[in-house]
Amino acid sequence: MAAKLIVGLGNPGPKYSWTRHNAGFMVLDRLASLSGIQVTRKAFSGLSGDGNWSAERVYLLKPQTFMNLSGRSVAEALRFYKLSLSDLIVIHDDLDIPFGKVKLKEGGGHGGHNGLRSLAQELGSSAYARIRVGIGRPVHGDVVNFVLTNFAKEEMDSLLEVLDTSVDALEMMIKEGMPKAMSIFNAR
């Protein structure tokens, strides 16, 4: 059975739990809840867990290094499990996508995202699959402060739906492949 390393990007600690930058952690937590996989083992400078989901062996990882050092944790896990970049799926927040939208992408640049920048530095490549969770962009003000603010009340009301859509996209990527999943989820 093939395996996938599924990584949710975010910042550790209760202070950041509901911030926009933690969308990756939130999706991974939702997947863990739905699959019954515990993500509590301390390994790879993060919290990890593994099990079978969607007819696939999956390793789940939430780096606890803070966003700008996430790549260290991911590189460690890939080496340990002897997986390649084609086995990696990274879930992260994206300022360029409106809140409520989920887009899939294969490879590409970091777009100013410090977590993705760290992955590119540590892995030497950006050739991996991504689930991009839209958090919108601030109308005015600093982007750095915006990503570290909690979701607004009206966004919180529909956040579970966004997390479920992200898990559905992930499941389709694994079961039916990236091209099919992209054709469906990127059209929404």
Q: CA-CA distance, 157 to 181, in Å (whole number)?
A: 26
Q: Are 102 and 131 in contact (CB under 8 A)?
A: yes
* Annotated catalytic residue 21: yes
Select which of 21, 110, 113, 140 is catalytic.
21
Q: Which of 66, 79, 174 is nearest to 129 (CA)?
A: 174
Q: CA-CA distance, 30 to 62, in Å (whole number)?
A: 12
Q: How far is CA 53 from the centre of its chain?
A: 17
The residues annotated with a catalytic role in the active site are 21
